[in-house]
Amino acid sequence: MKILVAHRQKQTVEAIRSVLSSVNPVVLHTESGLDGLLTSRIEHFDLIICGTDLPVVTGFEMVRSLRTSSVNRETAVVFVVSRPQEPILNLCRALNALAVVGENDLHTLADLVRDNISSRPDQAWAPLSAPVRSLY
């Protein structure tokens, strides 16, 4: 399973790696939305986890661009936020995000990945039709 983590805080990235170690992913990390966007335009991922406040290009801008033209057009996305607010949740819904996870609730990621994501190297991943879940 290949996962792209676009987040500027290395502590959060290490926490994500630690939580997801049980699903044995290959985790690629970028610190800016622009690097995440460029990486995900050319390489397929099974899951993209990103912060919303990335430098250069925000997480929302990155995902919006991916949804319009990239090999990850239908890849599941999980946003990591510091505090959930209705405008953020609305943007996540509009971008067809799988879930919104709080920085203090990263322990829920492993179950989320196990229950919803499977590595399919030869098939496009079909996004869930369920509404975005806030895991708070």
In the chain, the amino acid numbered 37 is: L
pLDDT of residue 51: 94
Question: Residue 108 in 3-state DSSP?
Answer: helix
pLDDT of residue 60: 94
* Count of structural domains, the chain: 1
Structure token pair of residue 134: 């806030």
Q: What is the spatial distance between Cα 128 and Cα 75, in angstroms, rounded to a whole number?
A: 10
On whether residue 113 sits in a domain, the answer given is yes
On whether residue 130 sits in a domain, the answer given is no
On whether residue 133 sits in a domain, the answer given is no
On whether residue 98 sits in a domain, the answer given is yes
pLDDT of residue 135: 54
> Is-contact 6 50, C-beta < 8 A?
yes
On whether residue 28 sits in a domain, the answer given is yes
On whether residue 135 sits in a domain, the answer given is no
State the residue range of the domain holding 7: 2-121
- Count of Cβ atoms closer than 10 Å to residue 9 Cβ: 14
On whether residue 126 sits in a domain, the answer given is no
pLDDT of residue 11: 92
What is the domain-level CATH number for residue 36?
3.40.50.2300
> Is-contact 33 59, C-beta < 8 A?
yes
Tens-of-pLDDT digits for all 136 residues of the chain? 899 999 999 999 999 999 998 888 899 999 999 999 999 988 999 999 999 999 889 999 999 999 987 889 999 999 999 887 888 899 999 999 999 998 888 988 888 888 888 765 544 444 444 455 555 4
Q: What is the spatial distance between Cα 89 and Cα 38, in angstroms, rounded to a whole number?
A: 25
Return phi, psi of residue 54, to 5°: -75, 150
On whether residue 79 sits in a domain, the answer given is yes
pLDDT of residue 127: 44
Q: What is the spatial distance between Cα 135 and Cα 36, in angstroms, rounded to a whole number?
A: 24
